[in-house]
Amino acid sequence: MLINVIKKWSDKKINGRYFNDEFEIDGIPIWWFLEPFLRQPYIPKPFKSLDEIKDNDIGNDKILSYKNNFQFYILRKGLIINEKIKFLISKFRKKEIDKRDVLFLVYTNHIVIDNGIKFIHYNEILKNLEKKKIKPLVLILDPLSKNSLFNLLQYENLLYDHITYEILKESKKKAKELNQKWRRLDEKIKEKLFTFQGKKYWKLLKNEINFLFSEEILFILIKYYLTFKNIIEKYKISVIYINSLIGFYEIPLLLSTYKLNKKVIYSPHGYGDRYFIIRKEVLKNVLFAAISNEHKKRLLKLGIKSKNIVIVGSPLFDKIINYKKRKIKKKGVITLLTQPLIEDKYIEKGEYFNYVKKLLNQISRINNIKKILLKLHPREKFRSKLPKVKTLGV
């Protein structure tokens, strides 16, 4: 039921006008910027995505309420301080850039320094583009999940280099206007907006919704929207290549391409189909690089048009071909690749590690299994739990 509330509440009217017409940026409903964060785990605690919100979250404990408000305040201010540091770092140096053809976003934790800079997901693609005389524009970013702010100093051409004082001024003005307009809305109007089939959901969602409509979050998203829009127009970008759809950078980028009617190639770098959290209107110019026929079928079921899907295989597995013809010397070895399910708030720690132990136990019972290799995702933080499963042959 909650998902229907989130999808439809902003289509209602307030004071005789549609909410989406009243709360917009550049003709795009501001809720299109905010909705994905409620539908997908991304923002740190105390913020909760829909999967984490429970009916019993509504309470009358004033101390708990003050605590939550304080935690949300600290989170908002922390994000703004982070943004200010990135902007200051970018002012140390700037580099003039000519016209480019394809835009790429690269996070600092997706870069390897080895006889020069190598981009984990894009290195081979960039080499092929160079051969064909196609000019890429690679913008380097700091990931929200990793504290690597000062690593930015060693890289050229940061996204933050392209944030102008005019963009900052316009973003602050628009964010303040939208936030004040939201705060002036009577609580009864908000309750009505979040009433669905006779049930009231406002009190259940108000902490997260108010956080998303805060001046700080609106400022960050509007700032990156205007920055990407300016980059695409200034450097005459024709195509945008991305491997994620969720984030403070990706959502504004997608909405800027929607506004400018630019083509986007989306090649997912991990598991899961997260595109369902983005409005279908925004995905009209997105070309999905499907890994297989089964992947294409999943996309079709989610409402993606066949003309927007191309089966290409997984770019991540391109280098496996180098090993395919080699003789396998060791038999009875299984490699288990894990994902940051705890960090992305899909599952609790206890449940996750119980599942891992159960899986390892089942694998160890298979005949001729001599060794299990456990390969962690770089973002997984709870490595201290792993010694407890070493007795299972890992």
Question: Which of 220, 247, 263 is the C-terminal boundary of a domain?
Answer: 220
Average pLDDT over residues 297-319: 84
Gap between the Cα atoms of 103 and 234, Å rounded: 12
Q: Do 216 and 230 reside in the same domain of the chain?
A: no
- Residue ranges making up the domain that contains 297: 92-161+224-318
Gap between the Cα atoms of 151 and 85, Å rounded: 12
CATH number of the domain within which 106 lies: 3.40.50.2000
Output the pTM of the full model.
0.85
How does DSSP classify residue 302?
T
Q: What confidence tens digit (pLDDT) does each residue in 19-61 have?
A: 999 999 999 999 999 999 998 888 988 998 887 887 655 555 5
Q: Do 174 and 190 reside in the same domain of the chain?
A: yes
Helices 202-212 and 62-90: angle between axes, nearest 10 degrees: 20
Q: Do residues 151 and 141 make contact, with C-beta atoms less than 8 angstroms apart?
A: no
Q: What percent of the chain has pLDDT over 70?
A: 85
Q: Do residues 18 and 66 make contact, with C-beta atoms less than 8 angstroms apart?
A: no
Gap between the Cα atoms of 363 and 359, Å rounded: 6
Q: Do 294 and 375 reside in the same domain of the chain?
A: no
Q: Do 57 and 206 reside in the same domain of the chain?
A: yes
Average pLDDT over residues 289-308: 89
- Pairing state of beta strands 102-107 and 28-29? unpaired
What length does the chain have?
394
Q: Do 272 and 307 reside in the same domain of the chain?
A: yes
Looking at the DSSP bridge assignments, the partners of residue 158 are 140
Looking at the DSSP bridge assignments, the partners of residue 335 are 373
Top-confidence residue, 241 or 324: 241
Q: Do 249 and 151 reside in the same domain of the chain?
A: yes
Q: Do 312 and 354 reside in the same domain of the chain?
A: no
Query: What Rg value do the Cα atoms of the chain yield, rounded?
Result: 23
- What is the chain's mean pLDDT, rounded? 85
Q: Do 228 and 155 reside in the same domain of the chain?
A: yes
Q: Which among 15, 64, 79, 71 has a CA at the least distance from the CA of 45?
A: 71
Residue 166 neighbours by CB under 8 Å, 6+ apart: none
The DSSP line for 193-226 is HTEETTEE-HHHHHHHHHHHTSHHHHHHHHHHHH
Q: Do 245 and 300 reside in the same domain of the chain?
A: yes
Top-confidence residue, 346 or 290: 290
The DSSP line for 322-339 is HHHTS-----SEEEEE--
Looking at the DSSP bridge assignments, the partners of residue 119 are 111
Q: Do 240 and 109 reside in the same domain of the chain?
A: yes
Question: Which of 318, 336, 368 is the C-terminal boundary of a domain?
Answer: 318
Question: Which of 182, 201, 220 is the C-terminal boundary of a domain?
Answer: 220
Q: What confidence tens digit (pLDDT) does each residue in 230-272 have?
A: 999 999 999 999 988 889 999 999 999 999 999 999 988 765 5
Q: Do 61 and 110 reside in the same domain of the chain?
A: no
Gap between the Cα atoms of 79 and 226, Å rounded: 19
Q: What confidence tens digit (pLDDT) does each residue in 111-144 have?
A: 887 777 888 778 888 989 999 999 999 999 998 7
Q: What confidence tens digit (pLDDT) does each residue in 372-383 have?
A: 888 787 777 776
Residue 200 neighbours by CB under 8 Å, 6+ apart: 191, 194
Number of domains within the chain: 3
Least confident of 112-116, 213-217, 258-262, 349-353: 112-116
Q: Do 230 and 298 reside in the same domain of the chain?
A: yes
Gap between the Cα atoms of 197 and 210, Å rounded: 23
Q: Give the per-residue pLDDT at 392.
A: 42
